[in-house]
Amino acid sequence: MFITLEGIEGSGKSTQLRHLVAMLAARGHDCLVTREPGGTPIGRKIRSILLDPDNTGMAPLTELLLYAADRAQHTRELIFPALAQGRTVISDRFWDATTVYQGYARGLNLDVIRQLHRLVLAECKPDLTLLFDLPVAVGLARALQAIDKGARMDSESRFERERLDFHERVRKGYLTLAGLEPDRFRIIDAAGDETAVRNKMQTIMNSILEKNHTAHHSHQTQENP
Ligand code: TMP
């Protein structure tokens, strides 16, 4: 099973990821926990270029290709092998972030992005995407506070420093994608505190995992009547 977590800056998805891993591990899942950009050693070098606030002159196409390069390495080195071994892969951001940030928010051509996705991902797609949704002002206030408190490095703040309307387009973009693929996406209201959000995620995950378990079980019974 392949699960991705998405949301605007300050949506709390990285904190909730830890709770999600605990939920899955408790059910016996062998989890690979990873993130984009920067899931691999090569990816971490790409990440530092992408998020460096000094890189104000980065062309949008350069940005797109660096995210694609990070993902090409990430899928080949980690994700594809783990899925082939039957592990549960959980990634803090994945390809939807490119469609939303570089496509909807930055304005790059969506067809070009789709073609790149085809090249980089082949047929691979997440089974489930949890979208942590909240008002942009709330998310950005949290994200900037995390930088002030030192919980997030200023050297990774290039996106937090984008204008408000950029982040509004990101939020809307994610909601648009969720509307286009309602079977894959689950939207979680992330405006509440950590416990409230975790409880919402737990309810969603319980129902998905029960359904998967039942489907798997009935499939096995059919195979071995
Ligand atoms: P994060 O580690 O806090 O999620 O930061 C990663 C940043 O990179 C975040 O601002 C979103 C951005 N991003 C893109 O613009 N495109 C992408 O494809 C990905 C994976 C992330």
Decide: 134 and 190 in contact? Cβ < 8 Å: yes
Q: Is the pLDDT at 75 greater than 90, yes or no?
A: yes
Please state, in angstroms and as integers, the Cα–Cα distance from residue 156 to each residue in 22, 81, 83, 144, following that order: 27, 29, 30, 11
Tokens of 193: 């505190």
Decide: 32 and 87 in contact? Cβ < 8 Å: yes
Q: Is the pLDDT at 225 greater than 50, yes or no?
A: no
pTM equals 0.93
Task: Work out the number of other CB atoms within 10 angstroms of the CB of residue 134.
Answer: 20
User: What's the start-to-end Cα distance of the chain, in Å?
Assistant: 25
Atom of ligand 1 nearest to the CA of 95: 18
- For a mutational test of ligand 1's pocket, the pick from 33, 35, 36, 169, i.e. the residue with the most ligand atoms closer than 8 A to its C-beta, is 36
Instruction: Please give the pLDDT value at position 181.
Output: 97
**Strand 2-7's sheet: what is its strand order?**
31-35, 88-92, 2-7, 128-133, 185-189
The values of phi and psi at residue 5, to 5°, are -115, 130
Which residues make Cβ contacts (< 8 Å) with residue 155, sequence separation at least 6? 48, 51, 52, 53
Render pLDDT for 140-192 as a digit per residue (tens, 0 to 9).
Answer: 999 888 888 887 788 787 787 778 899 999 999 999 999 999 999 999 999 99
- For a mutational test of ligand 1's pocket, the pick from 96, 110, 159, i.e. the residue with the most ligand atoms closer than 8 A to its C-beta, is 159
Give the Å distance between the CA of 183 and the centre of ligand 1.
23
Which class for 209: exposed (0-12), middle (13-18), buried (19 or more C-beta within 10 A)?
A: middle
Atom of ligand 1 nearest to the CA of 67: 18
Give the Å distance between the CA of 196 and the centre of ligand 1.
25
Render pLDDT for 19-73 as a digit per residue (tens, 0 to 9).
Answer: 999 999 999 999 999 999 999 999 999 999 999 999 999 999 999 999 999 999 9
93 lines ligand 1 (CB under 6 A): yes
Atom 13 of ligand 1, nearest CA residue: 97
Atom of ligand 1 nearest to the CA of 156: 5
Domains and CATH numbers, the chain: 2-223 (3.40.50.300)
**What does the alpha-carbon distance between residue 89 and residue 76 come to, in Å, rounded to a whole number?**
13
166 lines ligand 1 (CB under 6 A): no
67 lines ligand 1 (CB under 6 A): yes
- For a mutational test of ligand 1's pocket, the pick from 93, 171, 177, i.e. the residue with the most ligand atoms closer than 8 A to its C-beta, is 93
Place of tokens 């300050």: 10
**What does the alpha-carbon distance between residue 35 and residue 130 come to, in Å, rounded to a whole number?**
14
